Amino acid sequence: MTYTNFTIETDADGIAVVTWDMPGKSMNVFTAEVLEELDAILKATVADAAIKGVVFTSGKSSFSGGADLTMIRGMFSMLQEATAQDPATSKQKLFEVAGQMTWLFRAIETNGKPWVSAINGTCMGGALELSLACHGRVVANSKSVKLALPEVKVGIFPGAGGTQRVSRLTDAQSALQMMTTGQTLTPQRAKAMGLVHQVVEPDQLVTAAKQMIKDGLKPVAPWDEKGFKAPGGGVWTPQAAQLFPAAPAILRRETAGNYPGALAILKCVYEGLQLPFDTALKVEQRYFTQILGTTEAFSMIRSLFISMQELGKGARRPAGVPKSEFKKVGVVGAGFMGASIAYVTAAAGIPVVLIDQSQEAADKGKAVSEKLVSDSVAKGRLTKEEGEKLLSLVTATPDYSTLADADLVIEAVFEDRNVKKAVTEAVEAVIPETTIFASNTSTLPISGLAENSKRPDQFVGVHFFSPVEKMMLTEVILGEKTGDRALAVALDFVGKIKKTPIVVNDTRGFFVNRCVFRYINEAYDMLAEGVPAAMIENAAKMAGMPVGPLSLNDEVAVDLSQKIMKASIADLGPNSVKPEHMALIDNMVDVLDRRGRKNGKGFYDYPAKPAKKSLWPGLKEFYPQKPAGDVDVSVLKQRFLVTIALEAARTVEEGIVTDPREADVGSILGFGFAPYTGGTLSYIDGMGVKTFVELAEKLAAQYGSHFKPTQLLKDMAAKGETFYGRFDPYAKVSQAA
């Protein structure tokens, strides 16, 4: 029999090598067809007496990234349709679908013939769960190998036997740590944990896997043998008596109870280790079904799995524009941002020219790349040769004529219109008509900057976030005259450097910064109300934000906030900034010289290492302090999330953001908006627009008019609409088709 996604070759020793190699895909993924073929292969190898064992491997550079987008989306569509048709039976249908992989993998585990998984490259999610169901696991000794069960990061958990097998192969504490954080393991770490049997050189992978079978590998999982005991002794041991009572408290400290999937992992492991294996799998299947039905899982999977991949693959790229090839990119401005942009460009294999006013300034910018490369080599992320190759792609110079053959030039100079005007004119004097010009600006409107260009259709905004080498998001900003080719080239470049792009129309602060400063401004309001700074920071983190607003303000620089406020007043008038906010920041910067982390003092104090930063005690003297007992933390949490979500809704109403996927993905990747919500618009959709409007009106009555819901939200509430319904990102695609 022939298969679409697999090939089978049986050698003279009766060992069948099953190679997973999906046509037309760069990585193997699970689809309904893949599962059907895998089931057929299992039955065929069991029925064939000549086959003594199976080596399961990949024909691609990586093993598998797990489930396919369409499979995940189809599962949720099925749940919605089944619930609409018959709510009473929808959960049963979902339970059956959720168990499909579980029981297929269990059938592999109990088929009577040894299976060995030969793992190369990335092996994550369901692919690792499949491997764990095999009787042997051999892993290539390579930096490209990444083993993980990262499902908790998208709102679910390893529900195809992962919680049960990992907790029976390694001690419970390590198992919980791995699964509740979604951490990635190296081959060596996985072997030390007992999750894999051998780590071999890549060219010996299949040979070593075959040898395991030849050496008499038993086709029985350890937990199916009589007398099996989990590593560490299971649940009823002194060690477990210390671990399991503390685990929920530790998890709550880390997640504030916002991630149901993480808590379900604890339940699956604790309950499962007390049960026979098949019963434990049913417990896991039950919890998996429950979690799939939560708002958190639906929203996180949609934004952090489906939407993020769609945007990364060019969902917003104009049709009909040829794909860009980058032979050279220019970066003008060798300050920290420009230097970092040059680094990620070179890291993507693109030659880059880094330009500044003098050779000394340009060299200083290249030194940023040298430091990043040195650190990566020291940590084993790059070899010395790879580091040298990367640095050879960066040319530091003050000579603008070197841009004459650049495909794209990115301006990353100081946030000053006059400086940017001079750079634009200098660059356009040497580049050909085909070169796209991009401005990296965090606040200045692109349409205004494009007025300095002779060809505004070739002018686009590309807003990077600091530190560039770590932040996954890039905002691509359309000026009023930006053409399709400029947008396509910008998106192609962002994809090439492995960032996720969102496309937004022009406005002051674009999307991310508008939302960020709402978050910070709400903290200013709370300070003025006398809310203790520690409660402000902790409430924000309890709401799901990665860092408190005062800490974030220190990171972006308090004096930058001052500059932005002053620019807003100059351009938009005195009512654009609250006087009490301006007074607070003027006092911090001009009187106290507290500018943030960069000068060692802001809302926090930054002592010399190893001491940790701490809130500046002087904040207590600014405003009369409320007793902690008089502050409702749940309201503080609501205020933070609602004010940010309202700003996101305003950008949609103003036509700045036109695709809800971009508001959600942008808010999470850009500044860490409570990931469990799925992002700003999913937060509103998740509770229902009507409920959100009522909450906003309640907050507006007590805390200010900036909480008043917009007319769009009121209209949507009256009609029972959602953002993903009214602004369906797939409607245009289906209409075009």
Catalytic residues: 463
Structure tokens that stand for 127 in this block: 């692919």
- Report the distance separating Cα 245 and Cα 262, nearest Å: 15
DSSP at 227: T
> From its phi and psi, is residue 14 left (phi > 0), alpha (psi between -120 and 50) or beta?
left
End-to-end CA distance of the chain: give it in Å, rounded.
36
Asked if 637 contacts 535 with a C-beta cutoff of 8 angstroms, the reply is no
Alpha carbon distances (Å) from 451 to 458, 543, 656:
12, 42, 20
**Cα 84–Cα 89–Cα 94 angle in degrees, nearest 5:** 90
A 10 A CB-CB count for 653 gives 14
- Report the distance separating Cα 305 and Cα 312, nearest Å: 11
Contacts for 700 with CB less than 8 Å, ≥ 6 apart = 706, 707, 708, 709
Asked if 431 contacts 406 with a C-beta cutoff of 8 angstroms, the reply is yes
Q: How far is CA 660 from the centre of its chain?
A: 17
Structure tokens that stand for 530 in this block: 């006398």
Structure tokens that stand for 223 in this block: 């937990």
The SS3 of residue 331 is strand
Beta strands in 333-491 (DSSP E): 352-355, 394-397, 408-411, 436-439, 459-464, 473-478
- Report the distance separating Cα 678 and Cα 258, nearest Å: 12
| Pairing of β 136-140 and β 198-200 | parallel
- Report the distance separating Cα 624 and Cα 633, nearest Å: 18
Contacts for 108 with CB less than 8 Å, ≥ 6 apart = 42, 115, 130, 133, 134
Asked if 326 contacts 453 with a C-beta cutoff of 8 angstroms, the reply is no
- Report the distance separating Cα 130 and Cα 63, nearest Å: 11
Backbone angles phi, psi at 429, to 5 degrees: -70, -20
CB under 8 A, 24+ apart: contacts of 651-657: 651/504, 651/507, 651/511, 651/514, 652/681, 652/712, 652/723, 652/727, 653/710, 653/711, 653/712, 654/507, 655/505, 656/504, 656/505, 656/506, 656/507, 656/510, 656/511, 657/502, 657/504, 657/505, 657/511
